[in-house]
Structure 1
């Protein structure tokens, strides 16, 4: 089903009600998915870019208000609707005070449903357009921003510009939180596929059978619960880009099928025998060492080389400290807008503290820290009191007081590894090569220094 009208996730513990609403919306041209409870809904949201969340208010595992709160923590721009029993409008009003955008009453009147959803989609589109205009981004151009001009980022931006116009498969590596999906989106937006879909799949979030169905689609009756034919991500991304996040997590059987697609550009849906050909560019990402996974027998060598035609590495934040201040300012502006606040300054003490911290969670951790500070701020400036109480107590930086004689061998080793790692732009393989030690030892030492 086309997603032109919008993507909607329905959450209701009543199976028949959930499926009936899904069918009605699909027939009206929406791309619809459903979930029986809040926990499963959050899993879907993390793997599927959604326009509207429609949730029942009263559910046993996680009620609708809690789901909306948790969903908004991860997806602040998500439009949320609640469904409540007729005669319980006061519950719906309370839900709207708690963050819902609108409500529907049960039993549902489809004409009313369509009006509310159309209204919600219009608000969503207007909100996105306003954000783009505030950021000075043309609606006809790229919307993704990469903040930072440190040497590692200049190198990465140059590589993105070089590879964007090609058709080659790209493998993006780097620690969690370094912006691998951002890089993938930039490549797509700067390519001749930018007007076609950018489709994302988080490979570690699904069981093997579900992963194959998500990738390749399935025929009706292919397995229990396959009530109708469904297109997969490859077909959804036809003409565009498919981003496979955490590619190192996919099981061997699925690796074989993915390899076949990369070789022949065709596949069959699960339970089907019709061969389907699509034009899709693959961009994959992982925080694992795939070369080591190949040596350990967990990842196919031929698939690794098919994926690793072009290799990009996203540097950790601790090796691009010059980007911390501009990133912080960017996130302050973003979350001040979202929270309706006028914050135009970060205190020098905060900038100093942010710049000295080692950010084991990378840009994602910095963003979360700034969002918290913005929420807590009651003036126009971010102060130290707005940072977490224990902020900055962990350190990943090399000891700058190395003295010979006067330093232990352990201190000298730490200094050598971290300084080389920083100079190598966060590449463990280059660090190992320069120091003439194994990649495994570098990885082990880095984890030890982070306290993992």
Structure 2
């Protein structure tokens, strides 16, 4: 990838111009934590489930800090295997980063790396710091529990846990659901050339009671699908039922969905997080607390193999 005229094959660069949307106490605390951390230079660990907004908050922190004059570089520890391999290669001196001195770098899902690569990452971060590049890290797994289970490198743990920002799941941020819905309705109105005004009261009740295992990304997908289905002024229950596993005859149903539907959602989430490689499937099985053989059986059952 060519960035600013320099060949940088081991980094992704993303634009983070979205607004942080929500009113919940948990989100406000995370934002306030970012504002405080922006005044410091210590590395920051973002912890929270997949699709809770960790990268978005890291982008906000970066913009609030003195490092904002340079880009925020993003490395995905799950998907960017070649980039990680080059970055952690012995003798790598980070000279490619000279142009970005004073910027920030974000390592997504560091807990998915093996213990050996975690330690290599710690050593690479020491070199990166010397170029005055601030490090952000994220994990959807609890690194404190992993450290107790000796599944997280102690050096990287000490480095990453200097400053931690917890991002709560959407089910613990009910106040954020309707503001996010209004935002996505506005986004998809423009994209689909529609003029949907909002939700019916019953649809609001359904979304507020739902558990959102896929967090904000799932909410975005649900609204997108509902708006493709709706030709009315408001999204109603019938536009949500199929996507949320709610029977049209059930009335409200208190946000309950069939267990098979919940299992499929969790399987999809685990595979999106860890990938479809053999190693990714092994990690997904461990995260779901099932055997690899059981995972393969369930993938076949739900036709989830790529």
Q: CA deviation at 1:210?
A: 4.8
Q: CA deviation at 1:30?
A: 8.5
Contact 1:238 1:279 in 2 (8 A): yes
Aligned pair in 2 of structure 1 residues 395, 280: CA closer, same or farther (>3 Å)?
farther
Q: CA deviation at 1:379?
A: 2.9
1:155 and 2:29 matched: yes
Q: Which residue is 1:59 aligned to?
A: none
Q: Which residue is 2:238 aligned to?
A: 385
Contact 1:170 1:282 in 2 (8 A): yes
Structure 1 residue aligned with 2:85, among 206, 212, 219? 212
1:257 and 2:120 matched: yes
Q: CA deviation at 1:254?
A: 2.7
Contact 1:144 1:186 in 2 (8 A): no
Aligned pair in 2 of structure 1 residues 329, 318: CA closer, same or farther (>3 Å)?
same
Contact 1:197 1:238 in 2 (8 A): no
Aligned pair in 2 of structure 1 residues 294, 50: CA closer, same or farther (>3 Å)?
closer
TM-score by length of 1: 0.50
Greater RCO (CA < 8 Å, at least 6 residues apart): 2
Aligned pair in 2 of structure 1 residues 171, 376: CA closer, same or farther (>3 Å)?
same
Structure 1: which 5+ runs fail to align? 5-28, 34-43, 52-141, 223-229, 267-276, 397-442, 445-452
1:202 and 2:60 matched: no
Q: Secondary structure at the match of 1:199?
A: strand
Q: CA deviation at 1:358?
A: 1.0
Task: For 1:265 and 1:30, locate their aligned partners in 2 and report how far apart those are by CA, in whole Å.
Answer: 17
Aligned pair in 2 of structure 1 residues 395, 148: CA closer, same or farther (>3 Å)?
farther
Q: CA deviation at 1:311?
A: 0.7
Contact 1:174 1:313 in 2 (8 A): yes
Q: Which residue is 2:3 aligned to?
A: 3
Pairing 1:395-406 to 2, within 5 Å after superposition: none
Q: Secondary structure at the match of 1:145?
A: coil
Task: For 1:300 and 1:308, locate their aligned partners in 2 and report how far apart those are by CA, in whole Å.
Answer: 12
Q: Secondary structure at the match of 1:299?
A: coil
Contact 1:373 1:386 in 2 (8 A): yes
Q: CA deviation at 1:160?
A: 1.4
Q: CA deviation at 1:380?
A: 2.9
Q: Which residue is 1:349 aligned to?
A: 202
1:315 and 2:188 matched: no
1:176 and 2:56 matched: no
Aligned pair in 2 of structure 1 residues 282, 30: CA closer, same or farther (>3 Å)?
closer
Q: Secondary structure at the match of 1:201?
A: strand
Q: Secondary structure at the match of 1:244?
A: strand
Q: Secondary structure at the match of 1:204?
A: coil
Pairing 1:356-435 to 2, within 5 Å after superposition: 356-389=209-242, 390-391=245-246, 392-394=255-257
Structure 1 residue aligned with 2:143, among 290, 302, 305? 290
Structure 1 residue aligned with 2:20, among 119, 135, 146? 146
Q: Secondary structure at the match of 2:101?
A: coil
Task: For 1:148 and 1:156, locate their aligned partners in 2 and report how far apart those are by CA, in whole Å.
Answer: 11
Q: CA deviation at 1:49?
A: 5.0
CA RMSD of aligned residues (A): 3.2
Aligned pair in 2 of structure 1 residues 335, 231: CA closer, same or farther (>3 Å)?
farther
Q: CA deviation at 1:237?
A: 4.6
Q: CA deviation at 1:203?
A: 0.4
My pick for the range that moved more, 342-351 or 166-175, is 342-351
Structure 2: which 5+ runs fail to align? 247-254, 260-287, 290-306
Task: For 1:341 and 1:2, locate their aligned partners in 2 and report how far apart those are by CA, in whole Å.
Answer: 38
1:303 and 2:303 matched: no
Task: For 2:241 and 2:106, locate their aligned partners in 1 and report how far apart those are by CA, in whole Å.
Answer: 34
Contact 1:245 1:286 in 2 (8 A): yes
Q: Which residue is 1:278 aligned to?
A: 131
Aligned pair in 2 of structure 1 residues 264, 341: CA closer, same or farther (>3 Å)?
same
Task: For 1:377 and 1:181, locate their aligned partners in 2 and report how far apart those are by CA, in whole Å.
Answer: 31
Deviations 1:401-448 (A, max 9, x none): xxxxxxxxxxxxxxxxxxxxxxxxxxxxxxxxxxxxxxxxxx99xxxx
Task: For 1:183 and 1:197, locate their aligned partners in 2 and report how far apart those are by CA, in whole Å.
Answer: 15
In our comparison, the structure showing a higher alpha carbon Rg is 1
Kindly indicate which of the two structures has a greater share of residues assigned to helix. Answer: 2
Deviations 1:319-345 (A, max 9, x none): 111211111111111121122222222
Contact 2:14 2:73 in 1 (8 A): no
Q: Which residue is 2:39 aligned to?
A: 165
Task: For 1:235 and 1:250, locate their aligned partners in 2 and report how far apart those are by CA, in whole Å.
Answer: 26
